[in-house]
Chains A and B, each alone.
Chain A
């Protein structure tokens, strides 16, 4: 077991190097020299040279690449061009509001999706099944933007049931601010999640061992909830865990529209102001999180599936 984890950790290294390389190419090579842009039209040559020194742009490409790799471990991303703040500080500030929104929404939507998928699997082939499937496909086809604009306009602006935007720290103060975007998040996730869970569950239902379970005299519900679900959980857990890193990014659009000062909002602001270091930092951060969580997923997988379990 230990050997397996070690082996997977070892494999992380080339992936990390590869990710750093891609980010390096994008941000250091392709994007060009920002110093002139930052200082404006009247910058003198000396000023530009100084800034370049400061920003580390004079270093050789190889060293610049290593800087990227280093930042993946130290999480030191330098300063934002727009706000001049230390990016690490910005990230720490933004994490809390993001998680207040995404974490509860994620947990609720996951539970709901599993339950709906189970119900739909039980009633497979019937009208309920078709109806829910259609809803899912339709839900997925509407742009998130439409949901956000529509809901915000209708429920917050017109009907006034929720706050339109803003955020307050501390529970339960943040609830009215997070409720509507949270609901939208849940609605957006239900579509793809239910479809996936349903497929996974149905794949299991047609397996031979289910026939054996029925032959033993088990009720259809027991078969579904005990035998099928336990097997279906294997790919389901994998699917769920790998989504967790995205929670950090928050919901880019939701935060922007609802004025929640989370990481998503930070990223979008950086987008609007062409604040490359921040975007770069977010890319590195989320990639590292993804890599770590995929390792976690693999490990969880070996616990969940006895066929893969190593002695």
Chain B
């Protein structure tokens, strides 16, 4: 007991909302020994962030209340501390880093100042001393040229660098406990790995305990000693990391572990949490037929089928304005001389980090963005020069599903209206009744209940909204669908459900997909062919299995090595 640095007992946190009292955290207990890392895993809304905020004493008091529980830090109950006492601890003994590096730093102060500030409050260093130490810290967290960079403002740094600055601020006073709330979720895959490695290294050096919060069990596998799994405000399982990965006991944990697409395994479908567990939390017997694995090498989709889409030397550039009168001084090539071909029924995966041009490529193919040069040949016809009514007709064949389920549906239209709209535009269906029937059909195909057609987007969850977007895309019976980071904004468990849905629909309707994502595991799971993009160009393209087993390009190798190996424990 006395070895535990942090000992949370029976913690319950409630919030007063318009709908009444909501229990965000329910009777949660766990402890973190000195020098160890505990991973707290759960979906969004499971209560994991709220728990960490409770430890820091950062919950907004009038709305939030802690009716029960104790948080023992080095033997003393933090919940009995006064605000002044908590302030001494925050930033000094317990530090926290947050998820959004973009907005977590004050935009009007230099980063060096912001790091130094922590030192000046807790260690009473002089301005000069604190600045020197800040530079030293920036060096420790791997920011190149720290003497110069300390004078930089947050907006002048990349997401990864900003996160390093946050880490520097957090370790400045050598805290006993570092709380990291989804610190890598908003970062690119290669940067994620760097930040994780950094955290691990610092933890060893400073002998800190770490509380790492994430929705991705895979990430945890690499760095956590113990794991706590939360579901709907409760802890459903807690154990040593090795035990959890090798022999998890709770169905939810098993579901979480199983639903992550893994490189090297080639399941036909992903298992999802709902395969393991009912809504109420009871264990289900797994339907073994769902465990079919198939070898992508052998079961290539029909290679003799026709070429549906061919892209030749496609370039999309955007003008860069400058000079006195705002003239165009240069062109930025978001998509640079890209070529490939895609057969009917296949799935091409486009993978790359943010800014590589994959989204621009997807939208250019659909003519949502105008290409600057090159050809897009669809069923033998070059569609780059098609306009007006002809272009409109083309739209029936090619559709897109966007990334953000929260902004891709008009908040002021009912789902029924949203689904019927494409039919109205193209004058399909004799009357509204018929159109409604078509909408109902697809609505149920994507797994939603007909009765909800008259509801509004904000009444649905992220995963459900994405299903509605899929239904909308299919209303016109397209042949070809671009999935633009369509699962990236979803929790891992929901992601698996939507991926399965996409595969089912592809089989049923004979669809051809271009699947765009920054997540190599997901792309690998769903695609037949994978194109790796960097700086507007496809630097490597091959069969999905080949890319994984024997990547040629260095960049591809970097991408692959950055994937968390946490899944390696899975049976």
Contacts and interface: CB of A to CB of B under 8 A. Distances in A.
Interface of A: 3, 6-7, 10, 125, 207-209, 211-219, 227, 230-231, 234, 304-307
B103 A209 contact: yes
Most B Cβ at <10 Å: residue of A211, A217, A218, A306: A217
A-B CB proximity, top 9 nearest: A217-B91, A217-B90, A216-B91, A208-B103, A209-B106, A306-B153, A215-B96, A217-B87, A307-B155
Contacts of A213: 106
Contacts of A211: 58, 98, 104
Nearest to A305: B108
B121 A215 contact: no
Contacts of B117: 216, 218
B100 interface: yes
Given A217-B90, A230-B108, A125 B62 contact: yes
Contacts of A218: 87, 91, 117, 121
Contacts of A207: 103
Contact of A217 (B118, B155, B166, B323): B118
Contact of A215 (B58, B88, B107): B58
Contacts of A214: 58, 90
Nearest to A207: B103
A6 B98 contact: no
Contact of A306 (B87, B108, B121, B122): B108
A119 B104 CA distance: 25
Given A215-B95, A307-B155, A209 B87 contact: no
A214 to B, nearest CB: 6
A218 B106 CA distance: 14
B269 to A, nearest CB: 38
A307 B58 contact: no
A230 to B, nearest CB: 5
Contacts of B90: 214-217
Nearest to A233: B108
A6 to B, nearest CB: 6
11 contacts: A3-B324, A207-B103, A208-B100, A209-B107, A211-B104, A212-B104, A212-B105, A217-B92, A227-B109, A230-B106, A307-B107
B125 interface: no
A219 B479 CA distance: 59
B532 to A, nearest CB: 33
B169 interface: yes
A305 B108 CA distance: 6
Given A7-B324, A211-B58, A217 B88 contact: yes
B89 interface: yes
Nearest to A204: B106
Interface in B76-106: 87-92, 95-96, 98, 100, 103-106
B557 to A, nearest CB: 35
Contacts of B323: 3
A6 B324 CA distance: 8
A306 B155 contact: yes
Interface in B359-382: none
A3 B155 CA distance: 22
A135 to B, nearest CB: 23
Contacts of B56: 215
Contacts of B169: 212, 216
A212 B62 CA distance: 20
A4 to B, nearest CB: 10
Nearest to A213: B106
Contacts of B155: 306-307
A306 B92 CA distance: 29
Nearest to B86: A217
A21 B105 CA distance: 47
Contacts of B103: 207-209
A10 B325 CA distance: 9
A66 B139 CA distance: 63
B149 to A, nearest CB: 14
Given A212-B105, A217-B88, 9 more contacts: A6-B324, A209-B103, A212-B166, A216-B91, A216-B117, A217-B122, A218-B117, A230-B109, A307-B153
A213 B169 CA distance: 10
Nearest to A306: B153
